[in-house]
Chains A and B, each alone.
Chain A
Amino acid sequence: DAGVIQSPRHEVTEMGQEVTLRCKPISGHDYLFWYRQTMMRGLELLIYFNNNVPIDDSGMPEDRFSAKMPNASFSTLKIQPSEPRDSAVYFCASSLVVGQLFFGSGTQLSVL
């Protein structure tokens, strides 16, 4: 299995632009998580899905952030409009067993 695949690896954009991050979970995993990592706040859970249904989005910072999972093999995290404070590494992870998350390589987002 190729593991959790995220794209792009790096994204540089200007303030106000829309950003879309993509994730392909491991086949057969029914949980998908989006995390954000910054120096100040560490790893923060943004949202997670079970069987494509959003279960908890309380970590989504504000309405500029949205996430979808149209099918079992694909999820997106969208920021519109983006702001410099959104600069971070965004990780996607999938899971079949409680707590055993398999992480992707992350997307390094820089908003100028």
Chain B
Amino acid sequence: AQSVSQHNHHVILSEAASLELGCNYSYGGTVNLFWYVQYPGQHLQLLLKYFSGDPLVKGIKGFEAEFIKSKFSFNLRKPSVQWSDTAEYFCAVNAGSGGGADGLTFGKGTHLIIQP
């Protein structure tokens, strides 16, 4: 079974600071990796995804993530955060065996607060 670990439960940054949220997963086979975001009062939505190919993937709103297979990591980054990036961020994984849309296993989330 897969598991996902997010390093920080709470992160507080000032606007324009650079962001990196850590995510490590535990699974021995091929994986699909995702970052979801939940803005205050809104439902979870997909931020970016990695299936195969270029390990550096770009998502919406200037976010990107890098898949490092040797480290079982998929860290989320943004060069310069904005106040509107305040949200809960979830890393997720599912087995990339091609067997179908198996349910995602989520990390516990990182609550990001951006101070003006």
Q: Does A associate with B in a complex?
A: yes
B42 — nearest CB in chain A belongs to which residue? A105
Pairwise interchain contact B103-A56, C-beta atoms closer than 8 A: yes
Pairwise interchain contact A101-B104, C-beta atoms closer than 8 A: yes
B14 to chain A, nearest CB (A): 26
A77 to chain B, nearest CB (A): 14
The answer for the CA separation of A48 and B105 in the assembled complex, in Å, is 12
Chain B interface size band reads 20 to 34
**Does A70 interact with chain B (Cβ within 8 Å)?**
no
B4 — nearest CB in chain A belongs to which residue? A42
**Does A33 interact with chain B (Cβ within 8 Å)?**
yes
Neighbouring A residues of B102 by C-beta, 8 Å: 48, 56, 98
**Contact with A100, one of B42, B46, B96, B100 (Cβ below 8 angstroms):** B46
B76 to chain A, nearest CB (A): 16
Q: Is the interface of A mostly helix, strand, loop or mixed?
A: strand
Q: Is the interface of B mostly helix, strand, loop or mixed?
A: loop
The answer for the CA separation of A102 and B51 in the assembled complex, in Å, is 18
**Contact with B101, one of A43, A59, A95 (Cβ below 8 angstroms):** A95
Interface segment among B58-66, B77-85, B106-114: the answer is B106-114
- A interface residues, Cβ below 8 angstroms from B: 3-4, 31, 33, 35, 41-43, 45, 48, 50, 55-56, 59, 91, 93, 95-106
10 closest A-B pairs by CB: A42-B108, A43-B106, A45-B103, A103-B44, A103-B43, A31-B101, A48-B103, A98-B101, A105-B43, A99-B32
